[in-house]
Structure 1
């Protein structure tokens, strides 16, 4: 099965970023579910069983912290039961994000919100333990989550949460047409990718060391999509993606810059390698004022 055409390398300098010295990221794994490579990307083997990650990433910034995705929640079994039978998979839950934060004595007043890469169940299940934490979501994804059948779990776990709606007013970013610079320093930039869901996003993070990460959500389910330049199998794309052509263009953009940063598909456990787990050391940092960057907040 031929791969996608190889795009040329990114021809421009990387966008400027001035991350503060205190900026850090941590991986919070919350469990896995089992699927086969044949269902994850074109050319994958049916005998190759993959443990799909369900994780969150905590971004710590002096102006307030953000969680990228929420992983499995305490009610994950009930959430899976809300799905059509043909998409349910054996799963192994771990500690929820809420439990991991509590275990290190994390001060939740530092948490500006949870930023889902999109609203599918395995990215938002953990909202059930993050009561009082705002959900950061853009307008296209809010509309998708409110009406699409795949937003059923989101609609359940988001009850009672404030919705902090952000827009994309900061122009193109690495080939994506629109973006939002969360802190105004280039350290965390959200780009509208679309394709998987209407408002799915990629979160680009630049550390003080100049190491860059791209948290691409479900642009591809496994890093094979980037390395082999392959999409999801046709039937799975038909079931899972809102706009396959838009998704393909986003995938090609990420392939072009993959040599310049660590690309992290949400469900590829190995792609989180090198990102430290949350530890008590993080809890020892000074409290940070809960001052959100200027955006439009709606309830």
Structure 2
């Protein structure tokens, strides 16, 4: 089926300044932990997408191993995912396939859970936090996202899970970072930097991970749902922007920031299975990509 052609976002000037300093330790590593997928049509994901293009959207967590303590970025599907999906409005209940949860994958490879400092959520929507139901570790969240989860209907799953979880609050106490207004350097070595990228939710974030071999990743949550948001400069369709984003104009600004970086940083939209291909799946070893 032919897609409706629409004008892309204006092309931002590529980032040509030096990238921020980073001194990641030699034994730092990242892994992907896929927990399942759900179906959506490209036409609903980005402007110009085809209704005939039915895609599997990722529900994947990322484990970042660091000698000062490991972190997960998002949590994927959890043990209670069927109940979590049922808590959503009917129009958001997409067909889905379930895999092993993050907890099951870590346990199967004898991961030492005492190493896990917590889960940094890119935002508090159900498909990013479902897997928290089996992870008794702190949830990393900034004040703006804390305010969001107190009021938002879309945070009902998070509120239910978080009642029995520790919240590790952090602030954007660092300088602007790669076009984003504020930052938080997790370990103080530039290896994991969380930046303020509100708009999808009040306190949604992008997490930059900088590896010892020089490669850099930007885990952008839902600034765009598919890579075409970056490669074609195609934001969400207007109706989806109104439904999905609390401040669509801020999402657009954040997406343009990421587009400007795309030649120098590997961009990972949370729900695009293709974006995770350079990241090895968790296999219980400490190697890196």
- Determine whether 1:63 maps to 2:72: no
For residues 265-276 of structure 1, what are the structure 2 equivalents within 5 Å? 265-276=269-280
- Determine whether 1:243 maps to 2:243: no
In structure 1, distance between residues paired with 2:203 and 2:259: 20
- In the alignment, is the contact (CA less than 8 A) between 2:106 and 2:284 conserved in 1? no
In structure 2, distance between residues paired with 1:281 and 1:36: 36
Alpha-carbon shift at residue 146 of structure 1 (Å): 1.6
Alpha-carbon shift at residue 176 of structure 1 (Å): 0.4
Residue 33 of structure 1 is matched in structure 2 by 38
For residues 15-164 of structure 1, what are the structure 2 equivalents within 5 Å? 15-131=20-136, 133-164=137-168
Alpha-carbon shift at residue 11 of structure 1 (Å): 3.0
- In the alignment, is the contact (CA less than 8 A) between 2:145 and 2:201 conserved in 1? yes
Residue 3 of structure 2 is matched in structure 1 by none
Alpha-carbon shift at residue 150 of structure 1 (Å): 0.4
Residue 262 of structure 1 is matched in structure 2 by 266
SS at match of 2:262: helix
| TM-score of the aligned structures, taking structure 1 as reference length | 0.93
- In the alignment, is the contact (CA less than 8 A) between 2:39 and 2:56 conserved in 1? yes
Show structure 1 runs of 5+ residues with no match.
285-299
In structure 2, distance between residues paired with 1:280 and 1:251: 34
| CA deviation profile, 1:188-219 (whole Å, cap 9, x unmatched) | 00000011001000000010000000000000
SS at match of 2:164: coil
Count of aligned pairs between the two proteins? 283
In structure 2, distance between residues paired with 1:89 and 1:263: 25
- In the alignment, is the contact (CA less than 8 A) between 2:230 and 2:259 conserved in 1? yes
Show structure 2 runs of 5+ residues with no match.
1-5
SS at match of 1:217: coil
Give the one of 212, 227, 230 matched to 1:208.
212
SS at match of 2:220: strand
In structure 2, distance between residues paired with 1:59 and 1:227: 26
In structure 1, distance between residues paired with 2:261 and 2:246: 24
SS at match of 2:285: helix
Residue 183 of structure 1 is matched in structure 2 by 187
Give the one of 175, 190, 197 matched to 1:171.
175
| CA deviation profile, 1:80-130 (whole Å, cap 9, x unmatched) | 000000111001010000000100000110000011100000000000111
Supply the RMSD in Å over aligned alpha carbons.
1.1
